[in-house]
């Protein structure tokens, strides 16, 4: 696995961070609200920078693949954190389609390998 894939995975994790920060900000007020918004801004900046870095250099990941994988990592992470943090429902169909998303991301990585 190249450094670009590692950067992309970390960027996807920070995408989860910015989505969860927005969700937490919706349920906060006062100082806590502003801390969640700062968390959102920091996570967005880091996530976007890592996506940018993953698409450049010697082992650049094609933009379509990078964006799809980055978004999927963020989506899967956000669903899982939503279940843990916001007590969102765990249903068969949610988990089924989440699984197909993971399988698709793995497939993209395999077909995009050097």
pLDDT digits 0-9 by tens, 41-93: 999 999 999 999 999 988 899 898 899 999 999 999 999 999 998 899 999 99
Residue 17's CB is within 10 A of a number of other CB atoms, namely 21
* Total number of domains in the chain: 1
pLDDT of 32-48, one tens digit each?
Answer: 999 999 999 999 999 99
Query: What predicted TM-score, i.e. pTM, was given to this entire model?
Result: 0.87
Domain extent at residue 61 = 3-112
């Amino acid at each position: 696995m190249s450094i670009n894939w590692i950067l992309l995975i970390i960027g996807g994790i920070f995408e989860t961070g910015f989505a969860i920060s927005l969700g937490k900000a919706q349920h906060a007020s006062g100082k806590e609200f502003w801390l969640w918004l700062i968390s959102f801004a920091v996570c967005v900046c880091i996530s976007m920078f890592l996506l940018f870095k993953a698409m450049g250099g010697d082992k650049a990941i094609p933009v379509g693949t990078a964006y799809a994988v980055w978004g999927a990592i963020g989506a899967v992470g956000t669903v899982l954190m939503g279940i843990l943090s916001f007590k969102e429902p765990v249903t068969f169909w949610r988990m089924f389609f989440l699984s197909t998303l993971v399988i698709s991301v793995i497939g993209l990585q395999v077909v995009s390998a050097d």
